[in-house]
Amino acid sequence: MPTDRSVGRLVPMITAPTLLSSPLGVVATGVLVGLAVTQIAIFTTTVYLHRGLAHRALTLSPPLRQVARAVIWLTTGIRPRQWAAVHRRHHAATDTPADPHSPAQLGWVRVQLTNVALYRRAARDPRTLERYARDIPATRLDRVLYDHALVGLGLGLAALALVLGWPVALVAGTTHAVAYLALSGAVNAVGHTFGRRPHPNSATNLSWLAWLTAGEGLHNNHHAAPTAARFSFRRGEHDPAWPALAVARRLGWVEVRRDRPVLAVRSESRPARAA
């Protein structure tokens, strides 16, 4: 009969250094870490940039807002006031020629593949910021620190490298960049093309996309009630960010503007096809 000690010696020990010593282990770890970073970035995007800043559907407590601000900087380099302005323009001009990223105007494949370029074009247009982000002026901290996207992204990557080494950090960074851009593009492209439209607007509800994007896939609901902090309205719909928000609300970390969704008075028109 083997003793406990001898059995212990026979069981191969899988430790982090062992896992990271093979190329496959490096890639697998990098991909998993990258996908985890994407989920953190997507969750912060929907809660802080989208529901909080762009629509004022909720208010984060000041400490939580600072954490979210830093997470967005380190994982995406996005300037919050630019994101809010581009997104407000999307709501104001949905699927018209003035929409920064309309699949009805440009085709869903083009929006899916070039979403980041379309975003940058709208963000760099001074009229976008002037008209849609007057209430979000740049702070001193923005000018000194947060407006420098590459510094944020570089520090985020360096932090990963410090913990996991450069090979894993580079795989994780690449995975995160591809996954974050693909999912953000999908909300704007797929989420205005395929899926259910329970409310009369051009956006769609897709439950698989909602699971991958912390609720953003319930885009038809969101266009119907943009000031609702919760994106799921009925049975069978799941907004993965909402349970976390409900807990944060109980702890006094989040204030929610409305408990029930208020449907927008003016329904957006059906998409006008480009000629």
Chain residues that interact with Zn ion, rule: CB under 5 A? 203
Closest listed residue to residue 72, CA positions, set 124, 145, 143 = 145
Smallest gap, in angstroms, from Cβ of residue 201 to Zn ion? 8
- Residue 87 CB, nearest approach to Zn ion (Å): 5
Instruction: With both helix axes pointing from N to C terminus, report the angle between 166-189 and 108-124 in degrees, rounded to the nearest 10.
Output: 100
Of 152 and 271, CB closest to Zn ion? 271
Angle between helices 149-164 and 166-189 (to 10 degrees): 130
What are the contacts of 192-199 at 24+ separation with CB within 8 A? 192/95, 192/102, 192/103, 192/104, 192/108, 192/111, 192/219, 192/271, 193/103, 193/108, 194/108, 195/219, 195/220, 196/220, 198/224, 198/234, 199/223, 199/224, 199/263, 199/267
3-state secondary structure of 219: helix
Facing residues of 218 across strands? 205
Q: Which is nearer to Zn ion, 34 or 226 (CB)?
A: 226
205 and 197 Cβ atoms separated by less than 8 Å: yes
Minimum separation from the CB atom of position 268 to Zn ion (A): 9
Q: What is the largest CA-CA distance in the chain?
A: 80
Decide whether 203 or 206 has the Cβ nearer to Zn ion: 203
Shortest spacing between CB 220 and Zn ion, in angstroms: 9
Is the CB of 33 or the CB of 60 nearer to Zn ion? 60
Q: How far is the CB of 42 from Zn ion (least distance, A)?
A: 14
Q: Give the shortest CB-226-to-Zn ion separation in angstroms.
A: 5
Count of alpha carbons within 13 angstroms of residue 239, beta-carbon side: 24
Query: Cβ 148 to Zn ion, closest distance in Å?
Result: 26
Q: How far is the CB of 14 from Zn ion (least distance, A)?
A: 44
Comparing CB distances to Zn ion, the nearer of 164 and 203 is 203
- Strands (DSSP E) contained in 9-125 are 58-60
Cβ distance to Zn ion smaller for residue 7 or 92: 92
Of 111 and 179, which has the nearer Cβ to Zn ion?
111
Q: Which amino acid is at 204?
A: T
Q: Which residue minimizes CB distance to Zn ion? A: 203
Residue 236, number of CB atoms within 10 A of its CB: 6
Q: Between residues 173 and 271, which has the closer beta carbon with respect to Zn ion?
A: 271
- CA atoms of 120 and 14, how far apart (whole Å): 44
Phi–psi pair at 255, nearest 5 degrees:
-110, 130
